[in-house]
Amino acid sequence: MSPAPPLLHAILQRRSRERFDPVRPLPEPHLLSLLEAARLAPSSYNLQPWRFLWTMRGDPDFAEVLRALDPGNASWAGDASALVIGTFTRAGRRGRPNRWAEHDLGMATAQLVLQAVASGLGAHPMAGFDAERLRASLRIPSDLEPMTVTAIGWPVDESLPPRERLPLERITSRGRWPSGEER
Ligand SMILES: Cc1cc2nc3c(=O)[nH]c(=O)nc-3n(C[C@H](O)[C@H](O)[C@H](O)COP(=O)(O)O)c2cc1C
């Protein structure tokens, strides 16, 4: 059997970091390149349900986003260079709701995160925030649903716990799903 090709470096390197350089700025074109990576993600019927709002450290809106984060997240995310809010629209084809909107925002966010890592940045998505507070302070319209805030910054050394994942056999099956006894 031929050996499997190696995984992408960015996939192996990516971790949800909590320590960022609190002074090094992120040039705007650099941040826009991450959003461009998100823009190129695949989506159901190419509906591109994602909409992103972003703020840079030092912007008044950055402080607003920080205030909407759960305290545990706010304790470290203030050192990030940028905070990117991922929202989606449910609007689908022929007036029907798009059942894959969250999925596709997730695909776009994954591309953003991996592009960040490939560019030497850290990117840490968060669900721990007050969506309605964020909606009010950033004037997010009612047809957009905020899903995640991703902190992006220049990583500094931190000791991270080992990655914990379910084994591949537990989350995959070739063909039909194994019955209870087989698992
Ligand atoms: C949708 C989503 C929401 C998350 N929310 C938070 C959060 O609110 N706070 C946090 O510290 N980490 C959050 N995380 C990071 C996860 O805890 C992390 O990805 C997981 O523990 C695996 O660790 P790793 O990313 O370093 O591989 C979130 C990740 C995702 C994808």
**What pLDDT score does 147 carry?**
98
pTM: predicted TM-score of the whole model, two decimal places: 0.97
Average pLDDT, the chain: 97
CATH of 35-157, one of 3.40.50.620, 3.40.109.10, 3.40.640.10, 3.40.50.2300: 3.40.109.10
| 3-state SS assignment for residue 72 | helix
**What pLDDT score does 1 carry?**
75
Whether the CB-CB separation of 123 and 151 falls below 8 Å is answered with: yes
**What pLDDT score does 180 carry?**
80
Residues whose beta carbon lies within 6 Å of some atom of ligand 1: 15-16, 73, 125-128, 148, 163
CA–centroid distance, 9 to ligand 1, in Å, is: 20
Atom of ligand 1 at shortest range from CA of 69: 8
CA–centroid distance, 138 to ligand 1, in Å, is: 23
Q: Please state the rounded mean pLDDT for residues 70-88.
A: 98
Dist. CA 136–CA 127, nearest whole Å: 17
Whether the CB-CB separation of 101 and 160 falls below 8 Å is answered with: no
- Dihedral of CA 68/73/78/83: which sign? negative
Q: Please state the rounded mean pLDDT for residues 51-78.
A: 98
Q: Please state the rounded mean pLDDT for residues 94-121.
A: 98
Dist. CA 97–CA 149, nearest whole Å: 23
Dist. CA 94–CA 58, nearest whole Å: 42
Whether the CB-CB separation of 91 and 143 falls below 8 Å is answered with: yes
Q: Which residues pair with 129 in a beta bridge?
A: 69
Q: Which residues contact 168 (CB under 8 A, 6 or more apart)?
A: none
